[in-house]
Structure 1
Amino acid sequence: MKITGIEIKQYLLPLNPPFKAAWDPEPRKKFATTIVYVHTDEGITGVGSGDLMMGLEGHEHLFIGQDPFAIERHAQVIENIDFHYGRCWPLDLAIWDLMGKATGQPVYKLLGGKTNKLLAYASTGEIVTPEERAERALRFVDQGFKAMKIRFHHKDVKDDIKVVEAVRKAVGDKLEIMVDANQGWKMPWDVERTWDLKMALQVAQELEKLNVFWLEEPLPSHQFGLMAKLRDKVDIRIAGGEMNRNWYDFREMDKVQSLDVYQPDVALAGGITKVKKIADLVQGSGAWFSPHTWTNGIGLLANLHLAVGVSNCPYLEFPYDPPAWSNERRDYVQKEKLMIDSEGYLVAPEMPGLGIVLDEEALKKYEINHFYVGESNKTYQTT
């Protein structure tokens, strides 16, 4: 088998009403999705998504004509492209999808098959009043969720803590509560100060009183030593690493024991190939691996396969904050919208590959760009 072509298609879903992401002051009025298709001479096509694929253009020839099962080789090339141009890790996901289809196995079994399901925590994305967040939390309980995550981003962190207080009062011990401080990275236009160690410590101590399960990204993602100091000073678990792009970041964090929970996303930072190595590393040191999954439904599926294949963590992130962030919006290019079962588990598909079932009608409706490179330099682009 050999790779004969790489196809990239871009789609755009209008959001009305807009999604008001906690980490972005501008309401999001559209949701972009890029899908990469890897074609072979045996008629099998792998599918991946989760990032914009910026940087691949002009480098497709490095994959065409190659054996798709040479995954370590391909991951190294993608890493080289990442260093020079941009993140193309959805290509790694598409190749894993292809390998699963070629072998007749779901990807999670190729990765280790530790289990086929994990409890999903409802990962919320909006800033709403304490009363509204508590009401939504009760709906999560009714739906079968066993845990949820609350985003911080009020101007005064005391207002964020009030939201956690309201939720804890409403749900009691029916839900584990995680908190995302969103201090690890910034949007391009964000020049406000991030928390320092003392602020992070004060917040962590307040959240301990509310029995919060973990505190995510309380400090900038490069402050490995300060995260380790914070972790030593509090009993609450410290999580992070979702946007650390390089494996050696995780090597250094593991060395100084920065985190209790490591969250690299296969669609953003290393693909399945590289992130599996990070998971093995940090779990070997006693930490948990629970990937960030906030891209789209295909990125969520890819992270699910790796997590159920190897993770010791009891929970996996499930981006979900209806009505503004629903399954229908997140998974609009997929025919089957992902959802937990009645017991709160997200179950990996048993079909070969990643289990992606695309919605052909939605693809036709929302496609805005199409680019293909194949053998003999056959290239075309439509917009």
Structure 2
Amino acid sequence: MKITEIQIKHYLLPLDPPFKAAWDPEPREKFPATLVFVHTDEGFTGIGSGDLMTGFEGHEHLFIGRDPFDVERHAQVLNNIDFHYGRSWPLDIALWDLIGKITAQPVYKLLGGKQDKVLAYASTGELVSKEERARRAEHLAQRGFKAMKIRFHHQDVREDLAVVEEVRKAIGNKMEIMVDANQGWKMPGDTEPTWDLKMAAQVAKELEQLNVYWLEEPLPHDDLENMVRLRNMTSVRVAGGEMNRRFHEFRELSNAGALDVYQPDVALCGGITFGRKIADYVQANGGVYSPHTWTNGIGVAANLHTALGVGNTAYLEFPYDPPAWSVERRDFLQTSDTRLKLDQHGYLHGGNKPGLGFEIDEEVLKQYEIR
């Protein structure tokens, strides 16, 4: 079997009302998405998504005529492209989806099938009043979620802490609470000061009293020494790594003992092929692997299958903060029956469908394609 064609298509979903992401100074009025189609001479097609494939154009010939099962070879080529031009990891996701379809197996089983389900945590995205966040938290608990993540980004961190306190008061111990400080990296227009070690330590001390499960990205993503210091100063788990781009960055973080929870995203760093290597490495050093998934529904599915296949993951990120960030918006490229759903106990399942288990909504593609 040979790869005969690689297609890259772009889509844009209008957001009305806009999504006001806590980490972005500009409201999001559009949601871009890219699909990668890998076609073969035997009629099978794999599909990937999650990043915009920046830098891939002109490199299709490096894969045409090749065996799709040569994933290690293909991942090395993508890693070279990443170094020179930009991230193109959705192609690796498409290759794994393709291999799953060819073999009639779900990807997580091809990766090792370590588990077949994982608890989801609702990853919220907006800044709202403490009363509104508490109301939404109660709704999440009713939906079956056993954990949720709250974003910090108020001008005064005491307002952020008040939100966590209000949520804890509302839900008691029905859910674990994670906190995302979003200090690891910044959007282009964000020029606000980043926390230093003292600030991160003070916040962590307050979060200890509220029984917070982890504090995510309390420091810049490359500040390994202070992450190590922070871990030694608090009982709250320190999480990070979502925008780190290459394998060696996670190797260095892990060797330093900088994090408790490692959050690479296979759509942004290494694809599934390198993603499982990162998971194996950080877990061998005693870390927890719990990937970032905030791209689109296909990106969530790819990270779910990787986590199920090789991870010690206790909770998987499920981007969800209705009404502004709904499953319908996040997974708009997929047919409604193949969008990821929680069971009544709060689990996401790998299922038995071949590949990554989703199907594309052809009518939606026609409506929102950028030509």
TM score, norm. by length of structure 1: 0.95
Match of 2:346 in 1: 344
The 3-state SS of whatever aligns with 2:16 is strand
Q: Is the 8 A contact 1:111 1:306 kept in 2?
A: yes
Post-superposition shift, 1:191? 2.1
The amino acid that maps onto 1:180 is D
Residue number in structure 1 paired with 2:311: 311
| Superposition deviation, residue 201 in structure 1 | 0.3
Q: Which residue of 2 aligns with 1:234?
A: 234
Secondary structure of 2:69 counterpart: coil
| Match of residue 93 from structure 1 | 93
Q: Is the 8 A contact 2:118 2:315 kept in 1?
A: yes
- Looking at structure 2, the residues matched to 80 and 356 of structure 1 have their Cα atoms a distance apart, in angstroms, of 29
The residue aligned with 1:358 is 360
Aligned residues: 369
Report what 1:29 is aligned to: 29
Please give the alpha-carbon distance, in whole angstroms, between the structure 2 residues aligned to 1:156 and 1:84. Answer: 40
Q: Is 1:122 aligned to residue 122 of structure 2?
A: yes
* Equivalences for residues 223-302 of structure 1 within 5 A: 223-302=223-302
SS at 2:154 equivalent: coil
1:86-128 alpha-carbon deviations (Å, 9 max, x no partner): 1100000000001111111100000010111100000000000
Q: Which structure 2 segments of 5+ residues have no match?
A: none
Is the contact between residue 25 and residue 190 of structure 2 (CA under 8 Å) also seen in structure 1? no
CA distance in 2 between counterparts of 1:319 and 1:349 reads 20
Partner residue, 2:206: 206
How many angstroms does 1:11 deviate by? 0.8
Quick check: 1:47–1:356 contact (8 Å CA) kept in 2? no
1:53 counterpart residue number: 53
Q: For 1:301-326, what per-residue CA distance to the aligned partner results, in whole angstroms no more than 9, with x for missing partners? A: 00000011111121000000000000
Query: Which amino acid is the alignment partner of residue 91 of structure 2?
Result: L
Among the aligned pairs, what percent are the same residue?
69
After the TM superposition, which residues 4-43 of structure 1 pair with which residues of structure 2 at under 5 Å, given as runs? 4-43=4-43
| Structure 1 ranges of 4+ moved more than 2 A | none
Please give the alpha-carbon distance, in whole angstroms, between the structure 2 residues aligned to 1:197 and 1:70: 44
Structure 1 residue identity aligned to 2:208:
E
How far apart, in 2, do the equivalents of 1:134 and 1:197 lie? 29
Alpha-carbon distance, 1:25 to partner: 1.3
**SS in structure 2 opposite 1:248?**
helix
C-alpha separation between the residues in 2 aligned to 1:111 and 1:337? Answer: 22
Counterpart Cα distance in 1 of 2:270 and 2:222: 17
- Paired with 1:285 and 1:344, the residues of 2 have a C-alpha distance of 29
Secondary structure of the 2:275 match is helix
Residue 360 (structure 1) shift: 1.1
Amino acid at match of 1:353: G
For 1:50 and 1:315, how far apart are their aligned partners in 2? 20
1-structure distance, mates of 2:339, 2:83: 34
SS at 1:220 equivalent: coil
Partners of 2:365 and 2:123 lie apart in 1 by 26
Which SS does the other structure have where 2:339 is aligned? coil
Whole-Å Cα distance in 2 between the matches of residues 337 and 70 of structure 1? 29
Q: Is the 8 A contact 1:11 1:367 kept in 2?
A: yes
Please name the residue that 1:373 is paired with: none
CA distance in 2, matches of 1:32, 1:250: 28
What is the TM-score with the length of structure 2 in the denominator?
0.99
**Pairing of 1:132-147 with structure 2 (within 5 A):** 132-147=132-147
Cα offsets for 1:56-81 (capped at 9, x unmatched): 10111001111111101110111111
Alpha carbon RMSD of aligned pairs, Å? 0.7
Match of 1:372 in 2: none
Alignment-mate amino acid for residue 330 of structure 1: R
The correspondence of residues 171-182 of structure 1 with structure 2, limited to 5 A, is 171-182=171-182
- The amino acid of 2:343's aligned partner reads D
Amino acid at match of 1:191: T
